[in-house]
Amino acid sequence: MSMFFFPFWFLLLLLAPLWLMLIYFNLIATSFAALGLSPEAAFWLLVAVVLGSAVNIPIWRERVVQPGRARRLGFLLFYSEPPVVSERVLAVNLGGAVIPVLLALYLLQRAPLGPSLAGAAVMTVLAKALARPIYGRGIAMPLLLPPLAAAVLGIMLGGQNAAPVAYVSGVLGTLVGADLLNLGRIRTLGAQVVSIGGAGVRDGIFLVGMVAALIPAL
């Protein structure tokens, strides 16, 4: 009996990550469909986001020079460390920021402008308050509270248009509050490359928009 069940459980163990990934991507496609997109459009949008998450578009570069130092090794001996020249790059991720923002701007055509902008303003203040710089990595923020806040704003302000209002509020508010308003901290992060939306389908901008669109539609 044990020899019969071992391959079965071993197969389940191997397929579990694939099964979880399919559930995750089905959730994303469902949230896109909740925004009024056709199944075909939701599928291709998901493909574009996944492939675009590997593309970082540089938008700003800065040359960084760390001056050399001279150290005394003895009474007449000195050791000189040469200066180190590097480059600091600010980039925007195609799948994690550009595509969600373009979708948010597209949804503004069918979402009420006033509630959408009001929700984005509230999300901007919230994202700014929650965003924290992490040395060597970039700007981070909790992933659960902002999506829930955007969903509540969508329900309160959007009425029948709760899903697009929540998406627009979540994406634009997070982009402005967590990323754009913290650009001045780039020099203190110690990272050579800082990418807005650089985690692709795991980034705050994308996840806030996805969950915010899904929750009001349930």
- For every residue of the chain, DSSP letters joined together read -HHHHHHHHHHHHHHHHHHHHHHHHHHHHHHHHHTT--HHHHHHHHHHHHHHTT-EEEEEEEEEEE--EEEE-SSS-EEEEPPEEEEEEEEEEIIIIIHHHHHHHHHTTTS-HHHHHHHHHHHHHHHHHH-EEETTTEEE--SSHHHHHHHHHHHHHHGGGHHHHHHHHHHHHHIIIIIGGGGGGGGGS--SEEEETTTGGGSHHHHHHHHHHHHHH-
Q: What is the pLDDT of residues 49-64, one digit of tens each?
A: 888 888 888 888 776 6
Residue type, 25: F
The tens digit of pLDDT for each residue in 143-174 reads 778 888 888 898 899 888 888 888 899 889 98
Backbone angles phi, psi at 57, to 5 degrees: -100, 110
pLDDT number for residue 200: 45
pLDDT (0 to 100) of residue 79:
59
Residues paired with residue 91 on neighbouring β-strands, in sequence order: 58, 195
Residue 115, pLDDT score: 93
Domain boundaries, the chain: 2-217
Task: Give the per-residue pLDDT at 21.
Answer: 64
Which residues of the chain fall below pLDDT 50? 1-4, 200-202
This prediction has a pTM of 0.76
pLDDT at 197: 77
**What local confidence, expressed as pLDDT, does residue 73 receive?**
64
